[in-house]
Structure 1
C-alpha cells in the first residue's frame, strides 16, 4: 500500500493546473473525469491559459474554470499586477485542499505555496529546490516517447493513491448546440449535406506537416473515388497560405471552412465527420476526444507519447532511426524527411481500412 496516499474523503476542493498548449490541455481531461469518479463529493476546478479554455469548458466534472491571459503583459506592470492579484484572490477564496500541477511551470510552485493546500502534487525531475519543496508529493515522468501523455497525467493521481479504471480514461470535449448549428449551416452553404471526410492538413508547427503536393494528390484521389472531402485550418496566416497552396493544385475543388471556425465550431465539424485525416495537431486530439476515427501522420514528434488516444485510428510513420527527434525539420531546415517519405498510397490504404471497419 502507498504509505502517503491522501484521504479523499477530506478533499472538498481541488485545483488542477495545466499551463501548456491546446492539445496538452485536452489530454488532461481524463484526469478530471477520474477525480470526479473517485471523489464525487469534491468540487474540481482547473487553471489554464485563456486561449486554451475551450479544451476544458463544459467538462461535466468541472466546477469552475479559471484562466490566465497571456495578453495581460500588454496592460503594463500595474495592469498585469492587478489582473494577477484578482486571479489569486479568487483562487484563495475557493479554499483548496488539493492542488495538482501537471507541468514544471514555476507558477504552479508559487500557487501551491500561496494557496497552502493540505496536499499538492507535481512532476518529479530536477526543477530546483524551490519547486521540489513546494509540493507534498511528486510523481516520476516517463519521457522519451515511452508513455502516452494521458497516462503521464494520470500518474499524478496514482502518486496520491487514486488508481484510474480503464473505462475512465477517455478524453472529454464538450460542444455547445449553437456551434453545431453554425457548422451545419456553413456546410450546407458549401453544398455538403451528407457524409464527409475531414482533412486538416496544417499544424501550428509546419515542420509537422505533410508536403502540399502529396496532400493535394491525396485529396484528388479521395474525390475521384467518390468521397466528399471538407478542408479545415486555423485562422493563421501561415496555415491559410499552406491551404491555399494545396487548393491551387487540386484537379477538383472541395469545400473548405479554413479560417472560419472557432475551436468549439471546429469540434462540431470534426464530430460530424465520418473520418478525420491530419497531422500531430490539436484537431487530431479533438477527433480522438469525439471518437471520430482518424488517420494521423507523425514525423518528428513521438507517436507513443502524442498519438490518437482510445479511438479507432491508423498512425503512419517512417522507420527512420532518428525519429522521433522533436526537431524543427531535418537539421533545423523546416522540412521533415520522415514525413516526406510517407506516400499517398499508404494514406489511402489506411483510410480505406478504417472506412471498412466503420458501420
Structure 2
C-alpha cells in the first residue's frame, strides 16, 4: 500500500465515489462531493450506489453519472447476478477513473477499487477488514478509529485526508428543482396551506419509531393550537398503515394533509424547506431537514447520537436513554419489536415543538 502521497488536482479527471448504504447515509456524502468539485471543477464525479438510493441525490448537480447495483438480482439466480455484475463492471471499466473513493466496507466495493485500476484509490481501514487482501485493493487506507466519536459527515470527509486538500466543505446539501417547487406549490394551494408543520413519523425499524398513539396525541395538541399538519413518508404498505393508524385517533382530521407516498425526495425537500418546524425520528427525512436548516424536533433511541444527530442545523434532540436503559448502538437487535422511543414523554416533545413554534412566530 502506497502511503504519504499527495495527489495533485490535475489528476482529478474522472472520480468515482462508492457508498453502498441507505438513503440517509447517501445524503451525507454531499459535503464530500462538494469538496471534490471545489478542488477539481472540471472533473466528472460519478457515484456508485445501491439501486433506489440515487433518488435522494437526483437533483444534485455535482454528480455526472449515477451507477447503481441492483440488489434484487440475487433473487433472479446466480447466472443473472453474475451477468449483471459483469455488465456493471465493464461499464465502469470504460470510464478510466483517475480517483476512486470507497466509503463502504463490502468486499464488492473493494474489488471495484482493485480491478477497475484507477490511478489512485482510497478506502477505509476497517477492523473487520484488517487483512492483506483488503490492503491490496487500495493505494491508501484511512484509519476509522475515531469514527464512533465523530459525525458521519466528518467520517466521510476523512477519506480525503491523503489528498491534503486546502479547503473542506462540511455542508450537507439537499437539492430540488423548479419542477419540485411547482408541484409542491400546487399542493399547498389546493390544501390552503401557508403555514404548517411537517411530521415524518416512520422509520423502517421499530427501535427507531415512536408508537402511533403518541404521534396522534401530539397532533391533537397541535391542531388544538390551530396548527396545520403535513404528514409525509414513503410508499411502502407498512408506512402507509402506520400513518393511517396515527390519523385514525386524531380529533381534527381536516387539519391534517396526508402526503405519505405522494411526494419524491426532492418534492419532500421543498415541503420541509417551507415548514415552520419538522418533527421526526432518526431517518433520512431528519437529515434532509438539517440540510435545509428547518428547525427540528427529533426523537432518538439507541442509535449513535454522535454519528447521526442532525448536522449543523437548529434542532432539539430527545433521547430515550434519558428515560430508560438502552442497548449500545453496536448491540441493537434491529429485528426487535421494542419501541425504545416510547420512553420519551409526550410532554417533553410538546415543549420542544412549542419552543420552535415560538421562534417561528418571532420571525
Alignment TM-score, normalising by the size of structure 1 = 0.91
Q: CA deviation at 1:15?
A: 0.5
Deviates more, 1:135-144 or 1:274-283: 135-144
Count of aligned positions: 352
Confirm or deny that 1:134 pairs with 2:147. Answer: no
In the alignment, is the contact (CA less than 8 A) between 1:312 and 1:354 conserved in 2?
Answer: no
TM alignment of 1:14-25, pairs within 5 A: 14-25=15-26
Partner SS for 1:80:
helix
TM alignment of 1:156-305, pairs within 5 A: 156-162=159-165, 164-165=167-168, 168-189=169-190, 191-253=191-253, 254-305=256-307
What is the alpha-carbon distance in structure 2 between the residues aligned to residue 356 and residue 162 of structure 1? 42
Alignment TM-score, normalising by the size of structure 2 = 0.90
Q: CA deviation at 1:88?
A: 1.8
In the alignment, is the contact (CA less than 8 A) between 1:299 and 1:323 conserved in 2?
Answer: no
Structure 1 residues 300-359: Cα deviation after superposition (integer angstroms, max 9, x where no partner): 111211111111111111325545435247xx641233x222112211221222233343
Structure 1: 5+ residue runs without aligned partners? none
In the alignment, is the contact (CA less than 8 A) between 1:13 and 1:96 conserved in 2?
Answer: yes
Q: CA deviation at 1:74?
A: 4.4
Aligned to 1:316: 318
Partner SS for 2:94:
helix
Aligned to 1:351: 353
Runs of 4+ in 1 over 6 A off after TM superposition: none
The partner residue of 1:152 within 152, 155, 166 is 155
Structure 1 residues 167-222: Cα deviation after superposition (integer angstroms, max 9, x where no partner): x2111222133233333333444x23211100011111122111222211111111
Structure 2: 5+ residue runs without aligned partners? none
Aligned to 2:53: 52
Q: CA deviation at 1:101?
A: 0.2
Specify whether residues 333 and 120 from structure 1 end up closer, same or farther in structure 2 by C-alpha distance, changes over 3 A only: closer
Aligned to 2:38: 37
Structure 1 residues 246-285: Cα deviation after superposition (integer angstroms, max 9, x where no partner): 1111111122111222323322322222211000001111
What is the alpha-carbon distance in structure 1 between the residues aligned to residue 192 and residue 149 of structure 2? 41
What is the alpha-carbon distance in structure 2 between the residues aligned to residue 244 and residue 209 of structure 1? 15
What is the alpha-carbon distance in structure 1 between the residues aligned to residue 80 and residue 339 of structure 2? 42
Partner SS for 1:62:
coil
In the alignment, is the contact (CA less than 8 A) between 1:200 and 1:233 conserved in 2?
Answer: yes
Structure 1 residues 6-52: Cα deviation after superposition (integer angstroms, max 9, x where no partner): 22222211110001111101111110001111222322111111200
Q: CA deviation at 1:229?
A: 0.9
Q: CA deviation at 1:163?
A: 5.1
What is the alpha-carbon distance in structure 2 between the residues aligned to residue 262 and residue 4 of structure 1? 42
In the alignment, is the contact (CA less than 8 A) between 1:157 and 1:163 conserved in 2?
Answer: no
Q: CA deviation at 1:76?
A: 4.0
Aligned to 1:105: 106
